[in-house]
Structure 1
Amino acid sequence: MTVRLRVPTAEDADAWTDLFDDAEVMRYVGSGEVRDRAWYAAFVARQQALAASTGLCLFSVLVGDQVVGFTGVQPWAQPWGPTGVPEVGWRLGRRFWGRGLATEAAAIALDRARVLGVPRVVAMVHADNAASLAVARKVGLTQEAVLRAPSGVPVLQYGTALASVSTDTPDAVPDA
């Protein structure tokens, strides 16, 4: 299955709200809180601004014309762990799990980061989230540290150096 990435549109806030209005999807994300449309609208605006300034963000993941989730690279913004280090992340709606879409999308996002000269990324994954840990390994990340979130939850820090590629422009990464 082929996925495409795009900078999120205002309409994607609706799609993300619907996709992530699921306690199981949010189980390993922060406090597990399901967010409302207003939260996702502000989140989309932040991602658009990040994309405009850096070329990276949490991109909408599309299969055909359907938004199935997001993936991308943004600075780790928590006051604990690798604050400010670029983090690759992904989240899909539950009905899209188990198809390899997160792995495919995350690989595209990492390629984009590599082309843009990002030297290193991390992925911060709840220690019990076997599916996301598998994605991290499949895209070439290795475990670097075991941390504890302020809530006490164990979080595994995965990471990798991104080797530079011999590409003239960031536009060389399709659809990102």
Structure 2
Amino acid sequence: MIINNREYDSNRINYTIRSAIAKDAKDLSVLRVQIDGETENLDREKGEAFIDVTGFEQIIKTDTERPRNLFLVAVVDDRLVGFSRCEGIYLTRFSHKVEFGVCVLKEVWGYGIGKNLLKESISWADSNGIKKMTLNVLETNSKAIKLYKNLGFEIEGVLKRDKILSDGKFYNTVMMGRFNE
């Protein structure tokens, strides 16, 4: 699905949130690897589950065509700095929900980019009959958990000892959901 572009002005930077387009594929491939290497909050190590340009072109095409998918990018000065996806499940019993994920370059944390990607996704979901949004978050990512709670998500469960981080310790994954009744 496609949304209208939205402009934001936040603490000395201006950025746009818009739907991903085919020409973003190359930048997305590079950006995803960079973001994965900047934080342990995501599921992947840098370079794992690599998606090449063709792979991103296909994801963008699919997400544009499917009514329960949404692929957004955040752009600062014509440079991609983050992205988010909502992916619907196309089995009848799960057709009411989408799964949300977000990635933002560390250098632009604190400007509300992740929050606004999520808010745009929530607005899209609410206006398109999506009854539930789900996401997973690392238990130590307290800022993200607080943001998600502030935007209506609640903790639905915990996957115990779900991830091993660079310190060799196990960490839990928090499963959260937001309901649109």
TM-score by length of 2: 0.70
The DSSP-based 3-state class of the residue aligned with 2:52 is: helix
Q: Does 1:39 align with 2:57?
A: no
The structure in which a higher percent of residues are strand is 2
Contact 2:28–2:56 (8 Å) recurs in 1: no
Match of 2:145 in 1: 133
Could you tell me how far 1:65 is from its partner in structure 2? 3.4
The letter of the residue matching 1:158 is: M
Q: Closer, same or farther in 2 for the Cα pair 1:48/1:139, shift >3 Å?
A: farther
Ranges in structure 2 where 5+ consecutive residues have no aligned partner: 1-8, 10-14, 165-169
| One of 63, 78, 101 as aligned partner of 1:89 | 101
How much is the aligned-residue C-alpha RMSD, in angstroms? 3.0
Match of 1:68 in 2: 81
Could you tell me how far 1:160 is from its partner in structure 2? 1.1
Highest RCO, 1 vs 2 (Cα 8 Å, sep ≥ 6): 1
Q: Identical aligned pairs, as a percentage?
A: 13
**CA–CA distance in 2 between the matches of 1:42 and 1:35?**
14
Match of 1:144 in 2: 156
The DSSP-based 3-state class of the residue aligned with 1:21 is: helix
Match of 2:40 in 1: 27
Could you tell me how far 1:146 is from its partner in structure 2? 0.6
Match of 1:110 in 2: 122
The letter of the residue matching 2:179 is: A
TM-score by length of 1: 0.72
Contact 1:4–1:62 (8 Å) recurs in 2: yes
Ranges in structure 1 where 5+ consecutive residues have no aligned partner: 77-81, 164-176
